[in-house]
Amino acid sequence: MFKDKGLVSPGDAAAILHVKPSYIHQLEKDKRIRVYRLKATELDKKELPLSVRLLIITPRQEDYIFIPVVDLEEYKKEIKQKKGATHH
């Protein structure tokens, strides 16, 4: 959804990789992708860059979670290379 900003939600990350959202959480746990969490209750929107403020228009109780698109692209390349290596 916010690919032009370089950050996406876990749901968008799952769509980009064509996987289930639970797999995105596993990639985070395995430290294969970076995940940034912002506590909604501790957030001072005035101190954030405009690009991030635009991502968090609606107040929430849970954390805001952002994943860098570049990490997803790197992971896709890595998987493609592994698949190519196994087919030789």
d(CA 24, CA 36) in angstroms, rounded, equals 13
Domain count, the chain: 1
| Confidence at 1, pLDDT banded by 50, 70, 90 | very low
Look at residue 85 in the predicted model and tell me its pLDDT. Answer: 76
Tens digit of each residue's pLDDT (9 = 90 or more) over 15-43:
999 999 999 999 999 999 999 987 766 66
d(CA 32, CA 51) in angstroms, rounded, equals 25
- Does the pLDDT of residue 62 top 80, yes or no? no
Sign of CA dihedral 65, 52, 17, 31: negative
- Is the model's pTM score more than 0.95? no
Q: Is residue 80 within a helix (H) or strand (E), and if so which, with residue range? A: helix 69-86
Look at residue 48 in the predicted model and tell me its pLDDT. Answer: 67
41: containing domain: 3-86
